[in-house]
Amino acid sequence: MMMRRVGEAKPSGGRGALSRRAAGLFAPYARWLTLLVAMLAISVALDLGSVRVLGSMVDRMSSNGTVEALDRLLAVFVAMVLGSALLGVAQSWVNQLIAQGVMHRLRTDMHDHLQRLSLRFYTSTRTGEIMSRISTDVNGVQDAVTGTFTDFLSNALTLIVAFGFMFALDWRLALATLIVLPLWVYPTMRVGMRLRELRREWHEESGRMSAHLEETLSVSGSMLVKTFGRQEHEAQRFAASNDALRALSIQRLMTGRWFNMGTALFGALLPGLVYWFGGRAVLGAELSIGTVVTFAMLSQRVFGPFAGIARINTTLLSSLALFERIFEYLDTTVEVQERPDAIQLTRPRGMVEFDHVEFSYQSHATRPTAALDDVSFTVEAGEMVALVGPSGAGKTTVTYLMQRYYDPQGGTVRLDGHDVRDLTLDSISTTIGTVMQETHLFHSSLADNIRYGRLDGTDDEVRAAAEAAGLGGLMERLPDGLDTTVGERGYRLSGGEKQRVALARAILKDPPVLILDEATSSLDSRLEREIREATALLARGRTTIVIAHRLSTVMAADQILVFDHGQVVERGRHAELLARDGLYASLYREQFSDEARGMTGAAVR
């Protein structure tokens, strides 16, 4: 069934709004930021003050100063340098506290928001793209945030204090320097905007590469590639993406190199210009040698921070591309939301009701195709109801709406008389257990995979659930029993064993409502019979919704709902539906004739 691709929400506003939103992440650390600014201000004052002390030492050397005066100036100089260095260590600690706190919150918000997004988002977005944003993009922001903020504050304060000293020393030299520096502002902004574009393109291509690798280097992906001999094809696809990343990386590294060279060249020439201009003033007896030396050193201290701010600006502008990609996911609409006054079911009975339910996966399309069209039925607590019909008829969609993976566009789904939209999501999850057609297992121990059904299950309860699901023989064969790692997606287990793990999870969870979604369709007859027997024990005493193509598994159902094109076209018990000679009878005869032909063919062989 094709589903509409969910587009990420573009963050509203332009670059200014994006910058303000990124800056807002620092709001919880206002007090720490105040402390950091204070320490930076003191550190800069000490650092630049030590330069002024060196100028005074030069004047003492050139104007018959005393050794005692030089000693005192040296002591002051050492104290200032040492104090600035110690404050630098404290600044680093506070900076890391702020930066890592911001990144911790950003990663948490990103993960929690992704957990709340509906199934629609995950069916339309590749896993590799999601992983790229939550890891590569967030780490890229971390690299920018960790040192950039402190560098910017330090450089800005250095400029303010240094220009204060420079104007106090000689207003003409200070004014000349102040006029020259802004010439770097415009090219800096241009370089930053271009780097922002390139960085976004690079991360988008990196996300596509991650998605490709996740698809082809997983166990199932690798098997598919080998089965069809597509190694060369996949190598070419990877090479194309790799070439694109290389080209974008070169562009990123080379963008602004001429501008940076000009900046470095001017910084190297600046002291010579100061000494030339200041030397003329010394020869004219307008300035002292110490003043010129101090000014030359301050000009270096001014130009260095200004160039640093220029580089920081380009870094921040390019980092906005990462913030934009992250905010796109954070702004993606949560379709299924829990109401503030949601009801917590304390003693669920397991009654399920669909009341004129309408649902389409293409909810925003002009003419959406209905997955469910005016579906109504009631399942009393403790009943077993079977959903049958052709593939794509809407059977699995019913179970999705029961579990509130989606909300219907029309009608109501009720659980114990309550609209599921009025219940807490935890209530729904606790009340309903599912054994899916494809069992997903984690790369962990067999016990951990079973315990996922109820995280507080004891070791004895886990073992009892495994035994009840027919895993006793498997536990004896495995080298470490329940502690054996099952491998990625359970590839160390057979299909039947994975189904038994799914049953063990459901047994441990012990839900009032059980959904069996094609739980035995991929198994051979012997395994199907064994698992059906285990399933029958599990279903006893609880509401059970069964989806199965093999009609032999649903003959004992209290009610059979026959779906076709999103509608319930027949309902009743097995014998009643056969007597009606409708779609159910047609499916029944077709399936049993196919099974008979299969048995005949097997006998001939």
What is the per-residue pLDDT across 260-272, written as a single tens digit (0 to 9) for each?
A: 666 666 667 767 7
Closest to 417 (Cα-Cα) out of 381, 385, 387 = 381
Closest to 70 (Cα-Cα) out of 84, 81, 86, 59 = 59
> Among 194-203, 219-228, 449-458, 482-491, which stretch is predicted with the lowest mean pLDDT?
219-228
Top-confidence residue, 271 or 477: 477
DSSP class of 26: T
Top-confidence residue, 84 or 170: 84
Residue 529 has pLDDT above 70, yes or no: no
The string of DSSP codes covering 475-521 is: HHHSTTGGGSB--GGGTTS-HHHHHHHHHHHHHHH--SEEEEESTTT
Residue 457 has pLDDT above 60, yes or no: yes
Closest to 433 (Cα-Cα) out of 572, 544, 296 = 544
Top-confidence residue, 78 or 23: 78
How far apart CA 245 and CA 206 sit, in angstroms, is: 7
How far apart CA 145 and CA 161 sit, in angstroms, is: 24
Burial 40-60 (b: 16+ CB within 10 A, else e): bbebbbbbbbbbbbbbbbbbb
What is the per-residue pLDDT across 113-156, written as a single tens digit (0 to 9) for each?
A: 888 887 888 877 777 778 777 777 777 777 667 667 677 778 88
Burial 549-559 (b: 16+ CB within 10 A, else e): bbbbbbeebeb
What is the per-residue pLDDT across 386-437, written as a single tens digit (0 to 9) for each?
A: 999 888 899 999 999 999 989 999 999 999 999 999 999 889 988 998 888 7
509 neighbors 454 (Cβ within 8 angstroms): yes
392 neighbors 549 (Cβ within 8 angstroms): no
> Among 299-308, 447-456, 485-494, which stretch is predicted with the lowest mean pLDDT?
299-308
Q: How many helices (H) and strands (E) does the chain have?
A: 21, 10
Q: Which residues contact 299 (CB under 8 A, 6 or more apart)?
A: 166, 173, 177, 270, 271, 274
Domains and CATH numbers, the chain: 15-330 (1.20.1560.10), 352-440+513-604 (3.40.50.300)
